[in-house]
Chain A
């Protein structure tokens, strides 16, 4: 199963410096919407194999931050480097090449309503022009097996529950075997049991494919299960940084409020 994607990745590998273990680096990042300052002087680093959780208030710029990483939004100030590439200076082709190595699981899963689960999963594979139909089928089946939803292959997104949609979204994100995965509130709107299942699945996939992840969440159970390191976003900048146990003991009232 693995060689299909590896064969493709091998052909584009030259564009990205694989030797550096630094996967994402932002320096003095700033972003505003009109007069509302969302991020200011946000500096962070993410290393290979890490699961970084970002906590912060609603509307505090967490989702904006991960959208800046794949240039879904343009930065106002500072720099963003993903896999050694300065995102703001990339051409459209270079950006598309980079985006294939960065998976994005949206808050709503963002499944294409007009397509079946199979078509949703096949959609990102369109960038791999030489892929045969049998290989596509194999990848779709593997991705669905990973999330335990092989039976849902011919269903439409409207027929799926919230948890199933998140799983399919994760399967679609994983199908290109990205090096970095960005999770935008992966457990929002789910019951505690399903949330825990999704959190465990994230961890499982990280171990299986050795991915590096940034997880935006308010769910402390999810943060506890998935994180190696946590950044608390406060007023658009890094308010606190550490692992779960360290931050849980923080005396800072803002940081502590997340762990109550």
Chain B
């Protein structure tokens, strides 16, 4: 008991607790200041992107290269994820629907779920992890190794060459990846349905498209452009403004994923609200 008391005393001595309300208030003020500073810098960065994207010359070759890297090279991961998504959703939903005798609704339910919500959000999150972190780390590494400075002293605009091309590529490629992922997920669902029953391709997709409406498909495609823009913007912003040496490379990659994922959820929430207003 005595020893425990002594230890407790030692710990108290080792970790001084500052209960001063002034210190806590300062910490909160600093956090808020940092947040607003970040938002201001991101807004300026976004404005710079739009300005640089409009003004020629256009870096078409680099843009196509980034489309290949971001789109084509993400395809296997997005495809596998989409397939598993379709299989799991179908297997998990079947028993519940069977309880209510609504098994025939399975293709329609899975189709609507995937196309309206699960496909875009899951694919965007996968891309935030793969593409966003890749862009963040690559740009931060270029900054640390003075490659961005080297471009600037060569008389070439690094923002236009590096940032604009990557943001445009993610904005265009993420929607394409989502559409492919949705298709593969529905294929996975068809396979999962056929594990316990015998449903033809035509019957399955007939059910899916019978229940799908214009307001299911178009808003979900539109929002993926915003997801792609957010992933590219955040990755480039974090990488381009990295300034802590090699430590900053990891930090940029990490914060790109966290911030982009958060933005995907926030944008999805807004998109759902807007869609529900029109439907």
Q: Are B145 and A99 in contact, CB atoms less than 8 angstroms apart?
A: no
Query: How far apart are A244's CB and chain B's nearest CB, in angstroms?
Result: 28
Of all chain B residues, the one with the shortest Cβ separation from A129 is B57
Chain B binding site: helix, strand, loop or mixed by DSSP?
helix
Interface-lining segment among A14-22, A51-59, A100-108, A144-152: A100-108
**Does A189 lie at the interface of the complex (its beta carbon under 8 Å from any beta carbon of B)?**
no
Q: Are A104 and B153 in contact, CB atoms less than 8 angstroms apart?
A: yes
> Which of A67, A114, A123 is the one whose CB lies under 8 Å from B156?
A123
Q: Are A127 and B156 in contact, CB atoms less than 8 angstroms apart?
A: yes
**Does A192 lie at the interface of the complex (its beta carbon under 8 Å from any beta carbon of B)?**
no
**Complex formed: what's the CA distance from A48 to B38 in Å?**
45
Of all chain B residues, the one with the shortest Cβ separation from A72 is B149
Q: Are A110 and B145 in contact, CB atoms less than 8 angstroms apart?
A: yes
**Does A139 lie at the interface of the complex (its beta carbon under 8 Å from any beta carbon of B)?**
no
Q: How many chain B residues touch A (Cβ–Cβ < 8 Å)?
A: 14
Q: Are A127 and B146 in contact, CB atoms less than 8 angstroms apart?
A: no
Query: CB-defined interface of B124-157 with A at 8 Å, one 1/0 digit per residue?
Result: 0000000000000010011001110111111110
**Complex formed: what's the CA distance from A100 to B147 in Å?**
16
Q: Are B149 and A99 in contact, CB atoms less than 8 angstroms apart?
A: no
**Complex formed: what's the CA distance from A96 to B150 in Å?**
12
Of all chain B residues, the one with the shortest Cβ separation from A100 is B155
Cβ contacts under 8 Å, A124 to chain B:
154-156
**Does A126 lie at the interface of the complex (its beta carbon under 8 Å from any beta carbon of B)?**
yes
**Complex formed: what's the CA distance from A253 to B110 in Å?**
80
Cβ contacts under 8 Å, B141 to chain A:
113
Query: How far apart are A71's CB and chain B's nearest CB, in angstroms?
Result: 9
Cβ contacts under 8 Å, A241 to chain B:
none
Query: How far apart are A69's CB and chain B's nearest CB, in angstroms?
Result: 10
Q: Are A126 and B149 in contact, CB atoms less than 8 angstroms apart?
A: no
Query: CB-defined interface of A106-129 with B at 8 Å, one 1/0 digit per residue?
Result: 111011111000000001101100
Cβ contacts under 8 Å, A107 to chain B:
146
**Does A214 lie at the interface of the complex (its beta carbon under 8 Å from any beta carbon of B)?**
no
Query: How far apart are A107's CB and chain B's nearest CB, in angstroms?
Result: 7
Q: Are A108 and B155 in contact, CB atoms less than 8 angstroms apart?
A: no
**Complex formed: what's the CA distance from A114 to B138 in Å?**
10
**Complex formed: what's the CA distance from A221 to B126 in Å?**
53
Q: Are A104 and B155 in contact, CB atoms less than 8 angstroms apart?
A: no
Query: How far apart are A211's CB and chain B's nearest CB, in angstroms?
Result: 15
Of all chain A residues, the one with the shortest Cβ separation from B150 is A110
Cβ contacts under 8 Å, A72 to chain B:
149, 152-153
23 chain-A/chain-B pairs, Cβ below 8 angstroms:
A70-B153, A72-B152, A96-B155, A97-B155, A99-B152, A99-B153, A99-B155, A100-B154, A104-B150, A107-B146, A110-B145, A110-B147, A110-B150, A111-B147, A112-B147, A112-B151, A113-B142, A123-B151, A123-B154, A124-B155, A124-B156, A127-B154, A127-B156
